[in-house]
Amino acid sequence: MAVCLEFIDLIIPIEAIERVYPGGFVKWKQDEGVEGQVSGRYWYDEYLLRDGAMGPQVMEDMVREWEQRGLTALAMENGQRVWKDVCVVEGLFRGPTLPCDWLVYDERDRVAYMKGTPRGEVIGPERLVARIRQSGNGSAGKG
Determine, yes or no, domain membership for 142: no
pLDDT digit string, tens, across residues 40-77: 899 999 999 999 998 899 999 999 999 999 999 999 99
Class of residue 118 by CB neighbours under 10 A (exposed 0-12, middle 13-18, buried 19+):
exposed
Determine, yes or no, domain membership for 141: no
| Three-state SS letters, 129-143 | HHHHHHCCCCCECCC
Number of domains, the chain: 1
pTM above 0.85, yes or no: yes
Q: Which domain holds residue 34?
A: 2-134
- Give the three-state DSSP class for 17: helix
Determine, yes or no, domain membership for 97: yes
Kindly state the average pLDDT of the residues 28-45.
92
Number of CB atoms found within 10 A of residue 44's CB: 24
Determine, yes or no, domain membership for 143: no
Residue 101 in this model has a pLDDT that exceeds 80: yes
Average pLDDT, rounded, for the chain? 91
pLDDT at 139: 53
